[in-house]
Structure 1
Amino acid sequence: MASPQSTQFAVAVHVLTYLAGAGAGPGSQPGRLVGATELAASTQVTAVHVRRVLAPLREAGLLASTPGAHGGWRLLVDPADIRLDTVWRLVRGEEPVLAIHLPSPRCPVGRSIQDGLTQVDAEVARATEATLARTTVADLVPR
């Protein structure tokens, strides 16, 4: 059985897109501060999870947060300048794309499979990043 997929990338892109259009629905106000509770309701995750996912994006200077009752999150960078491969790297870090197990060192296959799978993982990561590099947050904002 496959391990569960992390949704951090999808949540990060969802929030960035939401902030780019500040709701992107009727009465939306791009540029307004959006609270973690509103973002959590849109993404259907907890506000704590939203803040955790957004922390590396804030540290990278893509967005800012203002604490307090009237605080929230806002973009610092034009959505057209935020490529999805950048978000992928910030959220994912050095985590492998493929979940690679730790086989028995006593097994001849187990001793050699790690190198092969690590190379495949690197190729998958490069292909994924190349695909994501062709899309920006602005491309995803509903019109």
Structure 2
Amino acid sequence: MGANSRLTIAAHALAWIGLNERMGGEVATSEQIANSVNTNPVVIRRLLGELREAGLVESRRGAGAGWRLTRTPESISLAEVYQAVEEGPLFALHPATPNQKCPVGHGIRSVLTPVYDGAEQALRAQLARTSVADVLRESIAVH
């Protein structure tokens, strides 16, 4: 099972849009963002569509088409980005009810549910402490 990179790509796209705006660009195209991410523009457009539904970006159509942030990079947390692009919980229980006659099968859900809930809360708290501006600033600092 591979790791999910949707949050990473979305954070990258938002940071790039923030940099573009800082440098005087009115909008960023999905092709420009895809070039930075090194992926297909269709991947970027799909994620930006989800970010638009969450109110984090807006798009302009027609001449001068592209994407821009709806708020400052400082006011967008990675927790909001995560909420916009990730479906469902971080971890899931069995899709079918385990064997209730088995001692492990009988208790596994009640044991793992609070562990998974705690991990999800910790993840969201960590993401809430980081803004798109932090990602942009620290990414540029690495260069």
Assess same fold via TM > 0.5. Answer: yes
Which ranges in structure 2 are unaligned for 5 or more consecutive residues? none
- 1:15 maps to 13
Match of 1:112 among 107, 129, 133: 107
Length-normalised TM-score, structure 2:
0.81
Q: Could you give the per-residue CA deviations for residues 42-99 of structure 1, whole angstroms, max 9, x where no partner exists?
A: 1122211111112221112211112346311111101110011111111114x22135
Alignment size in residue pairs:
136
Contact 1:104 1:111 in 2 (8 A): no
Q: Which moved more, 1:59-68 or 1:3-12?
A: 59-68
Q: Could you give the per-residue CA deviations for residues 24-52 of structure 1, whole angstroms, max 9, x where no partner exists?
A: xxxx7244211111111111222111111
Kindly, what percent of the aligned residue pairs are identical? 35
1:41 and 2:61 correspond:
no
Quote how far apart the aligned CAs of 1:101 are: 4.3
Q: Could you give the per-residue CA deviations for residues 76-133 of structure 1, whole angstroms, max 9, x where no partner exists?
A: 101110011111111114x221354446733622343233223222111100111111
Greater fraction helix? 2
Which ranges in structure 1 are unaligned for 5 or more consecutive residues? none
Change (3 A) 1:123 1:36: same
Aligned residue for 1:22, secondary structure, equals helix
Distance 1:90 1:48 in 2: 17
